[in-house]
Amino acid sequence: MSRQRRIGLTGGIASGKSSVSRWLAQQNVPVLDADQYAHDVIAPGEPAWQAVIDRYGSAVLHPGSDPTQPALNRAALGSIVFADAQERRWLEGLIHPVVRDRFEHELLKLSNEPVVVLMIPLLFETGMASICSEVWVVNCSLEQQRQRLMARNALSAQAADQRIQAQWPLTRKCELADAVINNSGPPQRWRAQIRGLLTPSTQQASASTDAMNGHQ
């Protein structure tokens, strides 16, 4: 049996990772999502959820939420950790080990799949490249990244830059990548590029799915 391809998909914030991962999922490629796992880690009732509340108190709670199970205001939490590197490191230290364990668990369940994509925004920053057989970086210009982030999250330019600067520069990630996915142009361009990177069997399935979608 050939070795499983574990493709680490990363990039900068708002560089287009989610668009690429959604398209890959539509081609029936299994996609594991670090952001979803991180979201689950601080869901109500989870140990990390309680640790966040214990550390920040009402500053990260939605006003008027049920006092027996208060709801986290994730935007407020983001404002705190993106403005303070020490707080960001604390939160990452709480979340990332649990996320890594979740990846290991899910990969075991997908051991018979020839290709699995691991979408991990902080792949290099957290040392998660070690569980991947190759790394793809979704790239775009800094200005595109900033404008997309401001539009998507309704952020000021300053707040957008804080979030961009909290990660490694895209240029550094691209230097370490096995493949750089160019998301500066239309989607058709990066889709064609990815088809060329996938195994022949996956390319064929991808082309068939696109053909069917084109007739809908």
Inform me whether the pLDDT recorded for 214 exceeds 80: no
From CA 5, how far away is CA 198, in angstroms rounded?
Answer: 10
The answer for residues whose C-beta is within 8 angstroms of residue 61's C-beta and 6 or more apart is 53, 70, 71, 72, 73, 76
pTM: predicted TM-score of the whole model, two decimal places: 0.85
> Using one digit for the tens of pLDDT, what is the confidence trace for 163-198?
999 999 999 999 999 999 999 999 999 999 999 999
Choose among 59, 90, 93, 75: nearest CA to 163: 75
> Using one digit for the tens of pLDDT, what is the confidence trace for 10-67?
999 999 999 999 999 999 999 999 999 999 999 988 999 999 999 999 999 988 778 7
Give the DSSP letter string of 33-94.
Answer: EHHHHHHHHTSTTSHHHHHHHHHHGGGGB-TT--TTSPPB-HHHHHHHHHH-HHHHHHHHHH
Domains of the chain by start residue, with CATH: 1-30+115-211 (3.40.50.300), 38-109 (no CATH)
Inform me whether the pLDDT recorded for 104 exceeds 80: yes
Choose among 64, 73, 65: nearest CA to 42: 73
